[in-house]
Amino acid sequence: MARTYTAGEAAHALGISLDTLRRWDRQGRIKVGRDSANRRVVPAREVDRLRGADRQTLSARNHLEGVVREVQIEGLLAQVEIDVTAGARLVAVITRESAESLGLAPGMSAAAVVKATSVMVER
């Protein structure tokens, strides 16, 4: 039998709120099942998929883990500030759609992926 998480466990593992997990379920962004009491259960493969467990491993120099400090959305663009190490901050401009689909918000964990002169933000 495949491993499943409760909705709360899955939300915690993904670094999102339970409300966000519920919204993602309604939007079809995450596949969930129901237990005998009709509570949401999330297959481990869905958590892995959303965490990017199958993505290629990048050099540590190109993959900077951190915490979102601020997200400013204006028009079609979003400016995302990530505290990547003590005293260092990375600022990236990404599309509004990307910021919203990642569910970026201050205080949550995120990673910046640096490639050539571009910075991509992932979660």
58 in a structural domain: no
30 in a structural domain: yes
Give the per-residue pLDDT at 41. Answer: 94
Which domain covers residue 116, as residue numbers? Answer: 63-122
82 in a structural domain: yes
Among 111, 102, 119, 98, CA closest to 24: 102
39 and 68 belong to one structural domain: no
94 in a structural domain: yes
Angle between helices 18-27 and 7-14 (to 10 degrees): 100
Give the per-residue pLDDT at 17. Answer: 86
Which of left, alpha, beta for 46 (phi over 0: left; psi -120 to 50: alpha)?
alpha
57 in a structural domain: no
Residue 79 pLDDT more than 70? yes
47 and 68 belong to one structural domain: no
Give the strands of the sheet with 77-85, arranged side by side. 88-95, 77-85, 63-74, 109-115, 118-122
pLDDT (mean) for 94-115: 88
The predicted-structure confidence for 17-47, as pLDDT tens digits, reads as follows: 889 899 889 888 889 999 999 999 999 988 8
Residue 56 pLDDT more than 90? no
More confident site: 96 or 64? 96
Can you give the CATH number for the domain in which 92 is found? Answer: 2.40.50.100
Using a 10 angstrom Cβ sphere, with 0-12 exposed, 13-18 middle and 19 or more buried, the burial of residue 47 is: buried
In the chain, the number of structural domains is 2
Residue 9 pLDDT more than 70? yes
As a whole number, the mean pLDDT across the chain is 84
First to last CA, the chain: 28
